[in-house]
């Protein structure tokens, strides 16, 4: 859900234009690649991280005491420890990272091109526009004493995608009129944006999520496996708690950061407990836009936001031992521009996407459930400010960067199809509004298909560690792209993307204009840039040693296979890697 905020349009039309897909599928013309039977069933196995108590230092707001025992709702039955309720979670490898918001794309075509993840938007106001107690009429789902109107198109879509072996993620947002918080102040008089007012009562919202988890639990109606709770909750436009620009009264209502985070945490906790009571292995996500650094927090503007870094700290301290995960949206810094770079902070974009993973691993070292990140909405414009060729090249680079980042498990592209003027001039789709296919469609469709791997899929199961240099800045080593102006040195080395016996993780850390590699998950005070891969601790056949090296005075760092560090000073052995010949 993006920044189409100059656009005023009727509800149903604008909802479609914002990527709020109902899941309804109409046949679309194929873009040239055979949609044949390349979609493959994915094995499902159980698993999950143990609960870890929160750190009392996780609060962003001074004076608030962390409660390590924030309990589940006493009225919601919870699974006993170790007991699995509902289906196990599908285990998907990195070849299955590719996903999309499908719009009206043909499921057979998309699944045939190994699209193994899709995201559907499920607005609450569609299912419970009016609060109606049971008994329920035909076409309604009874749940916990209330009636929810079954959205037929979404209902068919979830079942269809599930039957095709595609994992369904649901973005759950859109608060009905009767349930909205008092004092909500959308930035515009357009009533559609009132759908992003926060819920007044967390229990009412949670009841809706519980109904979804119960109905779509892997049975006859298909399955939702991932639940994204509201949308870009660090931005008041998309989770309006009653502050910011007041369109009706004029002026700006300053936001209370603690109250904002608390209201969201209350929603998350209640929804999480409901979902887990029906599907103990489902994953539940808190979603953020690309505004990451705490320096971006502004509570007194027309469009208030809290830097995701700061929001996560406050949120984590308010959710007890619940195993939350982050859904991130790493769009380029300029909405209409196709460019991104490793030095994009304070935003986190495709260029420095490892930062969100690195931050979570450094900030929450004892909570491995927080280390997995899904990218559930992002794209590159091909319209004004860009071009279709730049979109094509940019999406390939973006996938390469994501595949070069261990612990990112999905890349759900926004979107399948353009919606013209409704997107304020942007064109994020792989397909034009007239149903003709852009160049990006052909590359995206084949990039993870056996025999046509590209855009990083050809490197799996490895990440490729590269070394570069720029005069005046120093060296840079990463499994992701090099910053602008850095020239590659050599062909690099292969690290494992997934953990292997006898390996440890290497981390990239920024220091000034250059970076360094370390085994230290915390980056020891430097800026975490994310994991780069797993390296052997002892030499195995075909590997070469990699050393950390530092210049005189510590103004530069680099990696080298030379134990003498090419005239730099040796720091130590990082491990053993395969040459990228």
For 142, other C-beta atoms within 10 Å of its C-beta total 14
Q: Minimum mean pLDDT among 98-102, 161-165, 224-228, 381-385: which range? A: 381-385
Strands 117-123 and 98-100 turn out to be parallel
Task: Look at residue 62 and tell me whether its pLDDT is greater than 90.
Answer: no
User: Looking at residues 297-322, what average pLDDT do you find?
Assistant: 96
According to the model, what pLDDT value does residue 335 have?
79
pLDDT tens digits, one per residue of 497-515? 999 999 999 999 999 999 9
Helices (H), 72-112: 107-112
**CA nearest neighbour of 357 among 403, 304, 394:** 403
Class of residue 137 by CB neighbours under 10 A (exposed 0-12, middle 13-18, buried 19+)? exposed
Read off the pLDDT band of 253 (50, 70, 90): confident
Q: How far apart are CA 116 and CA 100, in angstroms?
A: 9
pLDDT tens digits, one per residue of 515-538? 999 999 999 999 999 999 999 999
Q: How far apart are CA 483 and CA 468, in angstroms?
A: 9
pLDDT tens digits, one per residue of 422-432? 567 789 999 99
Task: Look at residue 4 and tell me whether its pLDDT is greater than 70.
Answer: no
Task: Look at residue 58 and tell me whether its pLDDT is greater than 80.
Answer: no
Task: Look at residue 19 and tell me whether its pLDDT is greater than 90.
Answer: no
Read off the pLDDT band of 246 (50, 70, 90): low
According to the model, what pLDDT value does residue 414 have?
96
- Which pair of tokens denotes residue 432? 């034009």
Q: Phi/psi at 20 (nearest 5 deg)?
A: -90, 70
Q: Which helix (H) or strand (E) holds 558?
A: strand 557-560
pLDDT tens digits, one per residue of 83-122? 889 999 998 999 999 999 999 999 999 999 999 999 999 9
**CA nearest neighbour of 228 among 119, 348, 365:** 119
For the stretch 58-62, contacts whose Cβ atoms lie closer than 8 Å and that sit 24 or more positions apart, written own/partner, are 58/313, 58/314, 58/316, 58/317, 59/313, 59/314, 59/317, 59/318, 60/257, 60/261, 60/310, 60/311, 60/313, 60/314, 60/317, 61/257, 61/258, 61/261, 61/314
Task: Look at residue 409 and tell me whether its pLDDT is greater than 60.
Answer: yes
Go through the domains of the chain in sequence order and give each one's CATH number.
11-60+93-458 (3.20.20.80), 462-579 (no CATH)
Read off the pLDDT band of 372 (50, 70, 90): very high
User: Looking at residues 172-201, what average pLDDT do you find?
Assistant: 88
Q: How far apart are CA 132 and CA 55, in angstroms?
A: 41
Q: Are 94 and 460 within 8 A, CB to CB?
A: yes
**CA nearest neighbour of 111 among 47, 49, 160, 70:** 160
Q: How far apart are CA 212 and CA 169, in angstroms?
A: 12
Q: What is the pTM of this model?
A: 0.87
Q: How far apart are CA 320 and CA 81, in angstroms?
A: 16
Q: Which helix (H) or strand (E) holds 470?
A: strand 462-470
- Which pair of tokens denotes residue 51? 């609960």
Read off the pLDDT band of 11 (50, 70, 90): very low
Gyration radius of the chain's alpha carbons? 23
For 38, other C-beta atoms within 10 Å of its C-beta total 18
- CB-based contacts of 12, cutoff 8 Å, min separation 6: none
Q: How far apart are CA 6 and CA 8, in angstroms?
A: 7
Q: Which helix (H) or strand (E) holds 529?
A: strand 527-536
Q: Are 215 and 144 within 8 A, CB to CB?
A: no
According to the model, what pLDDT value does residue 77 have?
56
Task: Look at residue 169 and tell me whether its pLDDT is greater than 70.
Answer: yes
Q: Which helix (H) or strand (E) holds 517?
A: strand 514-518
Mean pLDDT of the chain: 87
- In 3-state terms, what secondary structure has residue 579? strand
Read off the pLDDT band of 52 (50, 70, 90): very low
Q: Are 230 and 236 within 8 A, CB to CB?
A: no
According to the model, what pLDDT value does residue 336 have?
85
- Which pair of tokens denotes residue 580? 């990228």
Cα separations in angstroms, 514 against 164, 225, 341, 426, 511 = 46, 40, 14, 34, 6
More confident site: 423 or 177 = 177
**CA nearest neighbour of 161 among 21, 23, 368:** 23
């Amino acid at each position: 859900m993006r920044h189409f905020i100059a656009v005023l349009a009727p509800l149903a039309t604008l909802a479609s234009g914002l990527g709020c897909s109902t899941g309804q599928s109409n046949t679309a013309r194929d873009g040239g690649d055979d949609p044949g039977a390349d979609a493959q069933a994915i094995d499902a196995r159980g698993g999950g991280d143990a609960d870890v108590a929160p750190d009392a230092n996780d609060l962003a707001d001074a004076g608030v005491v962390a409660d390590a025992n924030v309990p589940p709702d006493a009225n919601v039955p919870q699974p006993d420890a170790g007991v699995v309720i509902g289906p196990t979670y599908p285990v998907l490898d990195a070849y299955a990272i590719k996903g999309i918001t499908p719009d009206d794309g043909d499921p057979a075509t998309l699944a045939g091109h190994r699209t193994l993840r899709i995201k559907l938007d499920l607005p609450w106001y569609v299912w419970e526009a009016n609060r109606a107690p049971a008994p329920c009429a035909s076409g309604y789902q009874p749940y916990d004493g209330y009636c929810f109107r079954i959205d037929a198109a979404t209902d068919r879509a979830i079942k269809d995608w599930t039957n095709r072996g595609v994992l369904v993620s649901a973005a759950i947002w859109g608060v009905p009129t009767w349930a909205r918080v008092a004092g909500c102040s959308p930035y515009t008089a357009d009533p559609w944006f009132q759908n992003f007012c926060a819920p007044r009562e967390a229990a009412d919202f949670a009841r809706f999520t519980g109904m979804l988890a119960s109905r779509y639990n892997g049975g006859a109606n298909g399955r939702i496996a991932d639940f994204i709770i509201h949308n870009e909750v660090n931005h008041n436009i998309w989770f309006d708690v009653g502050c910011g620009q007041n369109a009706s009264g004029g002026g700006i209502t300053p936001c209370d950061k603690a109250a904002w985070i608390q209201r969201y945490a209350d929603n998350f906790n209640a929804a999480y407990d409901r979902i887990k009571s029906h599907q103990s292995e489902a994953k539940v996500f808190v979603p953020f836009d690309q505004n990451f650094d705490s320096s971006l927090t502004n509570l007194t503007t027309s469009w208030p936001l809290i830097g995701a870094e700061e929001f996560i700290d406050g949120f984590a301290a308010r959710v007890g031992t619940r195993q939350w995960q982050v859904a991130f949206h790493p769009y380029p810094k300029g909405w209409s521009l196709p460019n991104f770079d490793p030095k994009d902070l304070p935003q986190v974009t495709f260029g420095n996407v490892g930062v969100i993973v690195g931050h979570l691993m450094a900030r929450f070292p004892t909570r491995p459930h927080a280390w997995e990140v899904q990218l559930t909405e992002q794209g590159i414009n091909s319209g004004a400010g860009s071009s279709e060729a730049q979109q094509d090249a940019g999406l390939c680079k973006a996938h390469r960067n994501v595949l070069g980042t261990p612990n990112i498990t999905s890349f759900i592209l926004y979107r399948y199809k353009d919606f013209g003027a409704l997107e304020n001039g942007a064109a994020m789709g792989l397909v034009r509004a007239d149903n003709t296919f852009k160049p990006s469609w052909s590359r995206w469709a084949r990039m993870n298909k056996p025999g046509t791997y590209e855009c990083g899929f050809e490197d799996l199961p490895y990440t490729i560690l590269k070394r570069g240099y720029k005069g005046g800045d120093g060296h840079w080593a990463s499994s992701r792209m090099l910053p602008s102006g850095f020239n590659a040195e050599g062909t690099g080395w292969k690290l494992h993307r997934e953990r292997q016996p006898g390996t440890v993780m290497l981390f990239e850390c920024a220091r000034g204009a250059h970076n360094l590699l370390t085994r230290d998950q915390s980056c020891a005070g430097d800026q975490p840039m994310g994991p780069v891969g797993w390296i052997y601790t002892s030499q195995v056949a075909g590997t070469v040693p990699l050393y950390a090296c530092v210049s005189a005075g510590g103004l530069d760092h680099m990696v080298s296979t030379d134990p003498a560090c090419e005239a730099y000073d040796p720091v130590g052995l990082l491990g053993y890697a395969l040459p990228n010949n």
